[in-house]
């Protein structure tokens, strides 16, 4: 999977069509994202993407479109997610792709699709871009999960089109865990009806789908698109045009051992099953709003966190055996704090706000990494403000206590806003929420940070290197399955939200089910899908 690129552009889309109102038949402020999957263009050979079924390449384009709509088209208030193909919306994840994929790829694929759907909900909640699903035909599995991520769902009433989550009865797996969670937590479908629905392979249509709250409205074929567009116009309302920001390509330099960006470097050690990710502070802080808008996609907070996001995705899919990610920072902390202050000062500006929201999404992607995270705080570090969040997200923090080369930590107002999946700050998760004001007012040295409970291991210059080496070797030698479950549990502390439920279940139940013979064994349901043989189950409940 080394050839996967998570960067694309609407001009290169193979599976989606992004339509904007300029010069077309769309109402002002309304865009359309139409699914038109190219059957002959899967991510890898071996399957065809029939019936608008999707693989990772389809979702990479969707994630790109959602992000570009936020930065490049802030005038858009509503997005219609529909199909460019007749009598089909989306058949969900391609089953033959799933059946032929490795276990880690299956789980990472589900994780990525769930993150993309959460980004749709994030755009609705924080950017005012409402999404409306126009299900103009059968809507199954991951296709219905995509619809569930939208604010409202319209289903065509043609006597045959249904919505369904058929994974349990047909494949012996779960609908990405996001499907089950959204049905009951977001759409508030009754538990007993959700049970029937999720075991009904043929799905639910028409008035019954509305009655069960599975969709919001059904419309006849002749009136379907006019009704969808009218409702989209009501949902989004035309917004004042803003100066758009073009997201340019990151174009990292990639070798066997390194992935190098402008502000982020990823050093890979496949033999030791470790990687070192280093984020560099800006060499100068751009803080005036006019200069921020002029810098656009090259403004450090946006560029650096886009690079961090891309590095995390490449690590996730292309380097499955890397089990430990060592987190470092380099540069001048004052420039980070100045950028953070500029974000706090100019929060009313749409672009600055979108940058902050992007940074938060990337940090949550870091939280969801199935890798152990060790932050290294040494004399060259600059864990301050927004980059302090990276250290706080780590499973452990190792700090060098050297009076000749002191380290300092300092918070900013942004540390109150980078929320985790359950809405709490990372300082709160460490039991140090009451220390925030102190950390904002003045930098804190290693010993002080240790007293505040922010350091896992504090070591002097004599023992630091050996302590760190032993810790890394010991961690890399532990069972990756046990570590993934343990880390996911410890990173989701406190009350659950829709997002934390989805990823908690994904890391445990979906991970487990995708390795069970009832799904992927020689006679498992996923293995035998589409063949005349019936699956044979191990009937023991565990």
Whole-number pLDDT of residue 177: 78
Same domain, yes or no, for 213 and 260?
no
209 and 69 housed in the same domain: yes
Percent of the chain exceeding pLDDT 90 equals: 87
Rg of the chain, C-alpha, whole Å = 24
Residue 82: predicted pLDDT: 98
Query: What is the CB neighbour count within 10 angstroms for residue 225?
Result: 18
Residues 392 and 291 in one domain: yes
If the chain, 542 residues long, is cut into consecutive pieces of 10 residues, what is the mean pLDDT of each piece? Answer: 84 97 87 97 96 97 98 96 97 95 94 96 96 98 98 97 96 90 97 98 97 98 97 86 90 96 98 98 96 97 98 96 97 97 96 97 95 96 97 97 93 89 87 89 93 95 96 96 90 85 83 92 94 93 84
SS3 145: helix
Kindly state whether residues 384 and 462 are assigned to the same domain: yes
Residues 262 and 227 in one domain: no
pLDDT for residue 1:
44
Query: Are 395 and 490 in contact, with CB atoms under 8 Å apart?
Result: yes
Per-residue burial over 28-41, b = 16 or more CB atoms within 10 Å of its CB, e = otherwise: ebbbbbbbebeeee
511 within a domain of the structure (yes/no): no
Residue 509 inside a domain? The answer is no
Boundary residue ending a domain (483, 504, 530): 483
Give the pLDDT confidence score for residue 2 in this predicted structure.
53
Residue with tokens 């399955």: 481
Query: Two tokens at 138?
Result: 């059968």
What distance in Å separates the CA atoms of residue 351 and residue 298, rounded to the nearest whole number? 13
Whether residue 242 lies inside any domain: the answer is no
Token code pair at residue 279? 């984020």
Q: Is residue 75 assigned to a domain?
A: yes
For residues 262 and 232, state if they share a domain.
no
Are 258 and 157 members of one domain? no
* pTM for this entry: 0.96
Residues 28 and 115 in one domain: yes
Looking up tokens 């193979």 gives 14
**Per the domain annotation, does 515 fall within a domain?**
no
* CATH code at position 68: 3.90.226.10
Q: What is the mean pLDDT of the chain?
A: 94
Q: Does a structural domain hold residue 228?
A: yes
Q: Is residue 490 part of a domain?
A: no
Q: Which of 211, 236, 261 is the last residue of a domain?
A: 236
Q: Do 143 and 263 share a domain, yes or no?
A: no
Same domain for 371 and 460, yes or no, is yes
CB 228 within 8 A of CB 157: no
Q: Which residues contact 519 (CB under 8 A, 6 or more apart)?
A: 171, 172, 173, 513, 525, 526, 527
The reply to whether 336 falls in a domain is: yes
Nearest to 443 by CA among 382, 376, 378: 382
* Angstrom distance (rounded) from CA 394 to CA 405: 23
Q: Are residues 225 and 267 both part of a single domain?
A: no
Question: Is-contact 52 33, C-beta < 8 A?
Answer: no
The DSSP secondary-structure symbol of 429 reads H
**CA dist., res. 14 & res. 28, Å (int):** 26
Count of structural domains within the chain:
2
Portion of the chain with pLDDT greater than 70, in percent = 99
- CA 138 from chain centre, in angstroms, equals 26
Q: What's the pLDDT at 361?
A: 96
Task: Tell me the residue range of the domain where 144 lies.
Answer: 10-236
Judgement on whether residues 16 and 159 belong to the same structural domain of the protein:
yes
Residue 223 CB coordination number (10 Å) = 12
CA contacts within 13 A on the Cβ side of 117: 28
Under 8 Å between Cβ of 58 and 263: no
Among residues 236, 269, 293, the one where a domain terminates is 236
Q: Rounded CA gap, 187 and 200, in Å?
A: 18
């Amino acid at each position: 999977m080394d050839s996967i690129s998570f960067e694309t552009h609407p001009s290169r889309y193979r599976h989606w069509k992004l339509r904007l109102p300029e010069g077309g038949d769309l109402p002002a402020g309304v865009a359309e994202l139409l699914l038109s999957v190219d059957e002959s263009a899967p991510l890898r050979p071996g399957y065809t993407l029939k019936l608008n079924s999707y693989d990772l390449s389809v979702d990479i384009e969707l994630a790109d479109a959602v992000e570009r709509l936020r930065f490049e088209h802030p005038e858009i208030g509503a997005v219609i997610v529909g199909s460019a193909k007749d009598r089909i919306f989306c058949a969900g994840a391609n089953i033959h792709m799933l059946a032929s994929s490795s276990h880690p790829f299956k789980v990472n694929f589900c994780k990525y699709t769930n993150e993309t759907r959460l980004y749709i909900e994030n755009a609705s909640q924080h950017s005012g871009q409402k999404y409306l699903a126009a299900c103009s035909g059968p809507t199954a599995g991951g296709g219905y999960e995509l619809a569930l991520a939208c604010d409202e769902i319209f289903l065509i009433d043609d006597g045959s089109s249904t919505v369904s989550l058929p994974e349990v009865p047909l494949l012996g797996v779960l609908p990405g865990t996001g499907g089950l969670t959204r049905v009951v937590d977001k759409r508030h479908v009754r538990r007993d009806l959700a049970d029937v629905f999720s075991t009904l392979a043929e799905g639910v249509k028409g008035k019954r789908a509305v009655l069960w709250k599975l969709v919001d409205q059904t419309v006849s074929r002749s009136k379907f698109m006019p009704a969808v567009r009218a409702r989209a116009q009501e949902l989004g309302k035309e917004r004042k045009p803003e100066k758009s920001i073009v997201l340019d390509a990151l174009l990292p330099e990639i070798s066997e051992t390194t992935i190098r960006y402008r502000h982020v470097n990823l050093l890979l050690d496949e033999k030791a099953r470790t990687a070192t990710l280093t984020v560099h502070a800006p060499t100068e802080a751009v803080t005036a709003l006019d200069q921020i808008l002029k810098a656009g996609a090259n403004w450090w907070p946006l560029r650096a966190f886009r690079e961090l996001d891309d590095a995390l995705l490449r690590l996730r899919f292309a380097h499955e055996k890397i089990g430990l990610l060592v987190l470092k920072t380099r540069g001048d902390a004052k420039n980070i704090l100045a950028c953070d202050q500029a974000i706090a000062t100019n929060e009313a500006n749409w672009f600055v706000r979108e940058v902050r929201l992007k940074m938060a999404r990337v940090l949550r992607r870091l939280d969801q990494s199935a890798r152990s995270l060790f932050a290294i705080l040494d004399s060259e570090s600059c864990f301050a403000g927004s980059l302090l969040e990276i250290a706080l997200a780590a499973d452990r923090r190792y700090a060098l206590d050297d009076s000749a080369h002191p380290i300092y930590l300092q918070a900013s107002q942004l540390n109150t806003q980078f929320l985790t999946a359950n809405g709490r700050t990372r300082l709160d998760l460490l039991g140090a929420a009451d220390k925030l004001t102190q950390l904002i007012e003045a930098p804190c040295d290693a010993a002080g940070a240790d007293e505040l409970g922010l350091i896992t291991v504090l070591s002097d210059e004599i023992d630091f290197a050996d302590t760190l080496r032993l810790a890394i070797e010991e961690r890399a030698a532990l069972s990756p399955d046990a570590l993934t479950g343990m880390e996911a549990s410890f990173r989701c502390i406190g009350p659950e939200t829709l997002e934390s439920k989805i990823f908690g279940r994904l890391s445990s139940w979906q991970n487990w089910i995708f390795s069970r013979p009832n799904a992927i064994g020689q006679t498992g349901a996923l293995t035998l899908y589409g063949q005349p043989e019936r699956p044979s189950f191990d009937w023991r409940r565990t």
